[in-house]
Amino acid sequence: MSHPEKPAPKAVYVKSYGCQMNVYDSQRMADVMGAEGYREVATPEEADLILLNTCHIRERAAEKVYSELGRMRIIKEEARVAGRKVMVGVAGCVAQAEGEEIVRRAKVVDLVVGPQSYHRLPDLVARAGVRPGVVDTEFPVEDKFKALPAASEARTRSRGLTAFVTVQEGCDKFCTFCVVPYTRGAEVSRPVSEVLAEVEKLAAAGVREVTLLGQNVNAYHGAGEDGSEWTLARLLRRLAEVPGVARLRYTTSHPREMTDDLVEAHGDLAALMPYLHLPVQSGSSAVLKRMNRKHTRDDYFRLVDRIRRARPDIALSSDFIVGFPGETDADFEDTLDLVRQVGFAAAYSFAYSARPGTPGADMDGHIEEPLKTQRLHALQALITAQQHAFQESLVGRTVDVLFEKIGRKPGQVVGRSPYLSPVQVIGPSSMIGSIVPVRITGAKTNSLDGVLAADDHMRAVHAAE
């Protein structure tokens, strides 16, 4: 007797652009479709459902989506010829910002889903299967996090030793260059109990390092179990008590929300890594004012002092925008000067990109592209030099490394320093999952070489014999 053939399980491919929030959301989209029987695949060619989780932060990021959709059109067509139906969805911040426009501009798109609607994905996919061109960019009243299924233990386990957890979403700051308040909506914090449950589950599955995410993560004000509002510092202190969690990080923070209790936590919470991304955007108070950052250059210097007093070995990174409307040579010099005075371990810098609908786009004094590029190169040269200097400063020091995987060379194991840089040593693979002291012996641009401090000790013992 012949059995009717079981339909092959469907496959979903999710590609992330932009920030870590999107990376986290992409995993949740894969989870929500996983609950519908979709397995996650690594290439669009294998998929029945292709989701592009997009970024709208700069013009180039947003435009990239359309060239990518061109590629998806070919994949979809090839599948159709082979008798297979493939669906293409656009998610993320371009979806939120452009909505219907995407379906009009790119016929290949079957559905458009904004960041607040991912829990409705199965329903949207079903509807788009009947009639392509479904758009959902509403900001629903229900909490998307509550509505999303929890990741299964097996999926969590396969994700390794480090994990992101979104604790806050959206932004009320309205910096005049930025689309995020429009694409992600108002600031919302997840309740403490939800965050705690997720972190406990990750820790039980072997995760040792958790990075708390939010567009404005230090503005966190989630409801605690005791009914009071918790700050990020209080949340971090609680999460540090979760068995297995050895390292905590958070990103991205706003300088204005670095409260005393958070600065204090950097001083006395061992699990909180001494590395902080603290975007300043410009070193000119005049530009900062037009950017609506609500902090001055001196406020930033004072803040850096406070943080370094609490945690002298902290390394800082930042974001910069050059060529904001009205930026003079003197303003730009102020930015270079701020970088020289602070000294960053790393930094990202961008040429200002006018975003439709933001106040910056309508300001006077737009800077021509060649000048922006020139300033960007000057700033990047300075930042690169500081980055090298920081890496070099670690040579000879012993740092704790969380080992994550086997390296490319035989016998090599790779982990991360407290400052996020990859560290390579020769050692047993049994170290994977552990935090082990390593003496740094050499610095490259993006990684460090080291020897196990224990091996050093053994050598010293042998030498003394």
Which residues of this protein are in contact with ligand F3S, per CB under 6 A? 18-19, 21-22, 55-57, 92-93, 179-180, 183-184, 215
In this chain, which stretch among 143-151, 173-181, 282-290, 364-372 interacts with ligand SAH, using CB under 6 A?
173-181
Number of Cβ atoms within 10 Å of the Cβ of 330: 9
Residues of this chain, 398-457, that bind ligand SAH according to CB under 6 A = none
212: nearest Cα among 223, 202, 226, 224: 202
What, of ligand SF4, ligand F3S, ligand SAH, none, does residue 403 touch, CB below 5 to 8 Å by kind?
none
> Phi then psi for 11, rounded to 5 degrees?
-125, 140
Residues of this chain, 361-390, that bind ligand SAH according to CB under 6 A = none
Q: Which of 252, 284, 391, 417 binds ligand SAH (CB under 6 A)?
A: 252
- Token representation of residue 178: 């930025």
Q: Which of 178, 242, 394, 452 binds ligand SF4 (CB under 6 A)?
A: 178
CB within 8 Å of 124: residues ≥ 6 apart: 89, 111, 113, 117, 134, 136
| In the complex, least distance from residue 256 CB atom to ligand SF4, rounded to whole angstroms | 9
* Residue with the CB atom nearest ligand F3S in the bound state: 18
What, of ligand SF4, ligand SAH, ligand F3S, none, does residue 308 touch, CB below 5 to 8 Å by kind?
none
Please indicate if the annotation marks 290 as binding a ligand.
no
CA distance 287 to 365: 12
| In the complex, least distance from residue 245 CB atom to ligand SAH, rounded to whole angstroms | 24
Q: Which of 353, 386, 387, 417 binds ligand SAH (CB under 6 A)?
A: 353
Residues of this chain, 49-78, that bind ligand SF4 according to CB under 6 A = none
366: nearest Cα among 322, 326, 331, 320: 326
Q: Rg of the Cα trace of the chain?
A: 24
Contact 181, 226 (CB under 8 A): no
Q: What is the amino acid identity at position 248?
A: L
Contact 412, 449 (CB under 8 A): no
CA distance 236 to 232: 6
Contact 181, 173 (CB under 8 A): yes
Please indicate if the annotation marks 87 as binding a ligand.
no
Q: Which of 28, 32, 33, 58 binds ligand SAH (CB under 6 A)?
A: 58
| In the complex, least distance from residue 173 CB atom to ligand SF4, rounded to whole angstroms | 4
CA distance 291 to 286: 9
- The yes or no reply on residue 335 touching ligand SAH (CB under 6 A) is no
- The yes or no reply on residue 27 touching ligand SF4 (CB under 6 A) is no
What, of ligand SAH, ligand F3S, ligand SF4, none, does residue 174 touch, CB below 5 to 8 Å by kind?
ligand SF4
CB within 8 Å of 294: residues ≥ 6 apart: 173, 256
Task: Please state, in angstroms and as integers, the Cα–Cα distance from residue 387 to each residue in 383, 390, 444, following that order.
Answer: 6, 5, 10
> Phi then psi for 436, rounded to 5 degrees?
-130, 135
Determine the number of helices (DSSP H) and then strands (DSSP E) in the chain: 16, 21
Between 76 and 254, name the residue whose CB sits nearer to ligand SF4. Answer: 254
What, of ligand SF4, ligand SAH, ligand F3S, none, does residue 103 touch, CB below 5 to 8 Å by kind?
none
Strand order in the sheet with 209-213: 162-166, 209-213, 247-251
Please indicate if the annotation marks 93 as binding a ligand.
yes
Q: Which segments within 17-105 are labelled E, that is strand?
A: 39-40, 49-54, 87-91
Q: Which of 124, 175, 280, 425 binds ligand SF4 (CB under 6 A)?
A: 175
| In the complex, least distance from residue 17 CB atom to ligand F3S, rounded to whole angstroms | 7
Residues of this chain, 424-443, that bind ligand SF4 according to CB under 6 A = none
- Token representation of residue 72: 């998806």
Q: What is the amino acid identity at position 464?
A: A
- The yes or no reply on residue 277 touching ligand SF4 (CB under 6 A) is no
Q: Which of 352, 390, 403, 419 binds ligand SAH (CB under 6 A)?
A: 352
Binding mask 286-325 for ligand SAH (x = CB under 6 A): ---------------------------------x-x----
- Token representation of residue 394: 């670690």
Contact 199, 191 (CB under 8 A): no
| In the complex, least distance from residue 321 CB atom to ligand SF4, rounded to whole angstroms | 9
12: nearest Cα among 37, 102, 135: 37
Please indicate if the annotation marks 445 as binding a ligand.
no
Q: Which of 41, 86, 171, 212 binds ligand SF4 (CB under 6 A)?
A: 171
Element (H, E) at 320: strand 315-322
- The yes or no reply on residue 348 touching ligand SF4 (CB under 6 A) is no
- The yes or no reply on residue 345 touching ligand SF4 (CB under 6 A) is no
Annotated binding site for [4Fe-4S] cluster: 19, 55, 93, 171, 175, 178
Annotated binding site: 19, 55, 93, 171, 175, 178
Residues engaged in binding ligand SAH (CB under 6 A)? 57-58, 177-178, 180, 215-216, 252, 254, 279, 281, 319, 321, 350, 352-353, 355
